[in-house]
Amino acid sequence: MNRLLTLLLTLHLGASDWAASRRRARNGRGSVTTEHVLWAVAVIAIVGIVVAAIKAYVESQAGNIK
């Protein structure tokens, strides 16, 4: 019976240590970097769309030049 209680206590303490380490790991580190990367990707996509639209417009207007 003592072995069973010791095993259960060990597992419980190990699980609580594991949970505490997971909480420390999820403290938000890196979230700012991820946010910056997502904003950069969004800005690059928007700039790409704008450049493509301007290029298409200029090329269509250049075709109208006689």
Tens-digit pLDDT profile for residues 6-45? 777 677 666 656 556 666 666 666 677 888 899 999 999 9
**Is the full-model pTM beyond 0.95?**
no
Distances (CA, A) of 54 to 2, 14, 26, 46, 65: 78, 61, 44, 12, 17
- Size of the chain in residues: 66
Query: Could you give the 3-state DSSP secondary structure of residue 21?
Result: helix
Residue with the larger pLDDT of the pair 53 and 17: 53
pLDDT at 49: 95
What is the number of helices (H) and of strands (E) in the chain?
Answer: 2, 0
pLDDT at 32: 77
Segments making up each domain of the chain, as ranges: 2-63
- Supply φ then ψ for residue 18, to 5 degrees: -65, -45
CA pair distance 1, 27, nearest whole angstrom: 39
